[in-house]
Structure 1
Amino acid sequence: MFENLTDRLERSFKILKGEGKITEINVAETVKDIRKALIEADVNYKVAKSFTDDIKRKALGMNVLTAVKPGQLMVKLVHDELAALMGGKAEDIDLSGNPSVILIAGLQGSGKTTFSAKLANYLKSKKGKHPMLVAGDVYRPAAIEQLKVLGEQINVPVFTIPDSKDPVSIAKDAIKEAKKNGQDVVIIDTAGRLAIDEEMMKEVESIKKAVSPNEILFVVDSMTGQDAVNTAKEFNDRLDFNGVVLTKLDGDTRGGAALSIRAVVDKPIKFVSTGEKMETLDVFHPDRMADRILGMGDIVSLVEKAQEQYDEEQARKLHKKIVKNQFNFNDFLDQIAQIKKMGNLKDLAGMIPGVGKALKNVDIDDDAFKSIEAIIKSMTPEERENPSLMNGSRRKRIAEGSGTSIVEVNRLLKQFEDMRKLMKMVSGGGAKKFGRMMNQMPRR
Structure 2
Amino acid sequence: MMLRIMGVTAAVPLVWLGVLPFYVQSLNFSYHNSGQLETILKDFNSKYPTITHLHSIGKSVEGRDLWVLIVGKYPNKHTVGIPEFKYVANMHGNEAVGREILLQLIEYLLINYQSDANITQLVTNTRIHIMPSMNPDGFEISFLSDCYSSNGRFNKNGFDLNRNFPDVFEENTDPTQPETQAVMDWIQTESFVLSANFHGGAMVASYPYDNSYTTPPDNDVLKYLAELYSKNNNKMYSGGDCSDTIGFSNGITNGAAWYKVRGGMQDYNYIYGQCIEITLEVSCCKYPEASTLQGFWNDNKVSVIEYMKQIHMGIKGQVLDMHGIPIQNAIVDIQGRQRICPYRTNKNGEYYLLLLPGTYTFNVTVLNKSLVQNITIQKSLNLSAMTYNFHFGEKTGNPTQTTSEPCSLHEAGNSSSTIQVCLVTLFLRTLLVLWLHTL
- Decide: shared fold, TM above 0.5: no
TM norm structure 1: 0.22
TM norm structure 2: 0.23
Q: Bigger radius of gyration, 1 or 2? A: 1
Identify, as 1 or 2, the structure richer in helix.
1
Identify, as 1 or 2, the structure richer in strand.
2
